[in-house]
Amino acid sequence: MAIFLLHLFLLLLSSFTGTEAQFQNPRLRDAYIALQFWKRTAIFSDPKNFTGDWIGPEVCSYHGVFCTAAPDAPNVTVVAGVDLNHADIAGYLPSKLGLLADLALLHLNSNRFCGILPHTLRRLRRLYELDLSNNRFVGRFPDVVLRLPALRFLDLRFNDFEGSIPPALFRRPLDAIFLNDNRLRHGIPETLGESPVSVLVLANNHLGGCIPTSIGGMSETLNEIILLDDDLTGCLPVQIGRLRRVTVFDVGFNSLQGPLPGSVTGMRSLEQLNVAHNRLTGRIPDGVCELPRLRNFSYSFNYFNGQPPACARRGPRRGPAVFDSRGNCIAGLPEQRPLRQCISPGAQPFDCRKSSCFIGGATTSPYPKHSPPPPRISIRRRVVPPPPSPVGSAHRGYSKKPSPPPPPPPYESAPSTRTHPPPSYSTPPPSHYGPFHPPPAATLPPRHNTSSPSSPSTPLASPPAPFIPWKAPPSPVPPPPPKLPPVVGVSYASPPPPAIPYY
C-alpha cells in the first residue's frame, strides 16, 4: 500500500513537472496536487459527479473551487474556497489538504465524509469558515480547529464527535459555533463566559452538568444560545439576567430545577424564551411576560404554580406573542397537571444551594478543572420521560429517506445514535448577521431518552484507500423533501456566516 501511494504521488509530481508552464504560480501547483490526491485516493463515491471536471491543471475551473487574488500578493491567483455542499460524496479528508494554504472557506456539509480530521489542516492559516456539518466524522473533538488563527465560523453539527468540549474552544475569537447533534459529554466548560461568540448552539448532545455562572460574561456579544436537550441539571444561574443582547435563549428538554430567576427581566432583547420540559418550580417572575420584544415564551411541562396576569393577557398590544403554559400546576388554567403530580416530591420548591453545582455561593459546573487529576464522582442522573410534544411545537421530529450506504470506509465507522437523519441544508452566502432563529431547516428534533451505544475507541488516522478499480454507482434518485409540520412558536435557522475580510 505504501508503495502504491508513493507511486501515485510521484506520478502526480511528474505530471506537474512535465507541465509546469501550465501553472501560473507555485500556489496553484500545490492546490492541483492536493485536489488531485483527494479525488484519486480519498473519494470513494461521487454519485452526483461533483468532481467529474477535476481534470487538468486549471484548478480554478473545477466545480466547487473558487479562486481570487492572494491578499498578500494581488497579482497572484490562489484557491480561496472549496464548496462541495450537498454532493453526497463518500470518502475522507486526506493530509494533502494542508497544501491548500490560501483557503479561506471550506464547505463540505451534507456529504458522507468519515474518519477524523487530519492534523495538516492546521496549515490553513487563512481559513475563516469551516462547515463540516451533516457528515460521518468521528473521534474526539478535533483539536486542530483550535490552531486555525483566522477561524470565525465553525459548524460541526450532525456528526459523531464525542468526548469533552475543550475549554480552549471558548477562548478562540469565534463568532459562531454549531456543535449540536453529536455525542459530546462531560459538561459545559467554565470558560464559556470567555467566549466572544454571538451564536452558540450545543443542542442534542449528552453534556450533563450545569450551566456555568460565567455565562454572564458573554453579555456584550451573545445574541443566541441553544442548549436544548443536553441532559443539563442544577438551577438556572441568576447571571443569565446580564445577557441584555440575547434574542434567543433555549434550555428546553433538560432536567433543570429550582425557580425561573427574576433576573430574566433584565434580558430586554429577548424574542424567544424556551424553558419547557424541565422541573422548574415556583411562580413565573413578574415582568417576564412584559419584556418588550418577547414573542414566544414556552414554560410548558414544568411544575410552576403561578404566573402574573400579563402572561395570561392576549390582545393586539402583544401582537403575535405566544405563551405556552400547559402541563404545569397553575390553578385556573386549562391543560395543567393532575393534582397527584402537583403534590409529588418533584413539584416541591428546590433549594439551589443543595445542588451539586453550588460552590462558594454560586452555581457552577460539577466537573472539576483538569489541572489536578479529577476524582471519580458518580452522579446519579434522574431520568424523566418527556411528556408528548405539544401541538404546534417547533421541536417535533421528522424523517426522510436515508442516503444510499457508502462503500466500506478505511476503517469501521462509529455507530450512530440518531433516531432520524438530519435534513440537508446549505450555508447561506456571506452577509452581515441579522435576526435569526437555530439549526437546521426550521427545527431541532429532540432525541428520545435512550441509552447511546457504547463509544468506540478513539479512531486512528485514516489509512489511505487501496487502489481497487471500480465504476461509480449510478446517481440515486433524490428522495422527496421531508414534509415538515407548520412552524408555530419558536423556530430556528442557521445564521449566515460573517463576511470574509481577506478576499
Distance CA 322, CA 311 (A): 10
Distance CA 34, CA 12 (A): 10
Please state, for a pLDDT cut of 90, what percent of the chain lies above it.
Answer: 60
Angle formed at CA 278 by CA 493 and CA 193, multiple of 5 degrees: 60
Residues contacting 473, CB < 8 A, separation 6+ = 45, 47, 404
Residue type at position 43: I
Residue 409 has pLDDT above 80, yes or no: no
CB-CB neighbours of 170 under 10 Å: 24
pLDDT at residue 503, rounded to an integer: 59
Q: Which has the closest alpha carbon to 196: 214, 227, 217?
A: 217
pLDDT at residue 167, rounded to an integer: 97
Give the residue with greater pLDDT, 337 vs 406: 337
pLDDT at residue 138, rounded to an integer: 96
Environment class of 335 (CB within 10 Å of its CB; exposed 0-12, middle 13-18, buried 19+): exposed
Contact 258, 281 (CB under 8 A): yes
Average pLDDT for residues 9-29, to the nearest whole number?
A: 64
Give the residue with greater pLDDT, 201 vs 467: 201
pLDDT at residue 428, rounded to an integer: 41
pLDDT at residue 269, rounded to an integer: 96
Distance CA 129, CA 84 (A): 14
pLDDT tens-place string over residues 350-372: 888 877 775 544 444 444 444 34
Average pLDDT for residues 106-121, to the nearest whole number?
A: 96
Which grid coordinates are listed for 389? Answer: 410534544
Helix (H, G, I), strand (E, B) or coil at 106: strand
Average pLDDT for residues 471-486, to the nearest whole number?
A: 44
Residue type at position 123: R
pLDDT at residue 382, rounded to an integer: 39
pLDDT at residue 215, rounded to an integer: 97
Give the residue with greater pLDDT, 393 vs 305: 305
Q: Which has the closest alpha carbon to 184: 212, 211, 156?
A: 156
Please state, for a pLDDT cut of 70, what percent of the chain lies above it.
Answer: 65
pLDDT band, very low/low/confident/very high, at 321 (cuts 50, 70, 90) = confident
> Rounded mean pLDDT of the chain?
77
The bridge status of strand 362-363 relative to strand 303-306 is unpaired
pLDDT band, very low/low/confident/very high, at 482 (cuts 50, 70, 90) = very low
Give the residue with greater pLDDT, 383 vs 335: 335
Residue type at position 443: T
Mean pLDDT lowest for which of 6-10, 21-25, 456-460? 456-460
Query: What secondary structure does DSSP assign to 238-251, as a single string?
Result: GGGGG-TT-SEEE-
Residue 162 has pLDDT above 80, yes or no: yes
Mean pLDDT lowest for which of 64-78, 113-127, 263-277, 395-409? 395-409
Residue 401 has pLDDT above 60, yes or no: no
pLDDT at residue 406, rounded to an integer: 43
Beta bridge partners of 250: 226, 274
pLDDT at residue 280, rounded to an integer: 97
pLDDT at residue 378, rounded to an integer: 38
Residues contacting 344, CB < 8 A, separation 6+ = none
Residue 233 has pLDDT above 90, yes or no: yes
Average pLDDT for residues 487-502, to the nearest whole number?
A: 45
Residue type at position 235: C
Which grid coordinates are listed for 308? Answer: 402574573
Which grid coordinates are listed for 397? Answer: 421530529
pLDDT at residue 112, rounded to an integer: 96
pLDDT tens-place string over residues 211-227: 999 999 999 999 999 99
Q: Which has the closest alpha carbon to 45: 477, 408, 400?
A: 408
Residue 452 has pLDDT above 60, yes or no: no
CB-CB neighbours of 248 under 10 Å: 24
Within its chain, how far is the Cα of 64 from the centroid? 24
pLDDT tens-place string over residues 253-311: 999 999 999 999 999 999 999 999 999 999 999 999 999 999 999 999 999 999 999 88
Distance CA 277, CA 299 (A): 8
Residue 158 has pLDDT above 70, yes or no: yes
Average pLDDT for residues 39-50, to the nearest whole number?
A: 93
Residue 144 has pLDDT above 80, yes or no: yes
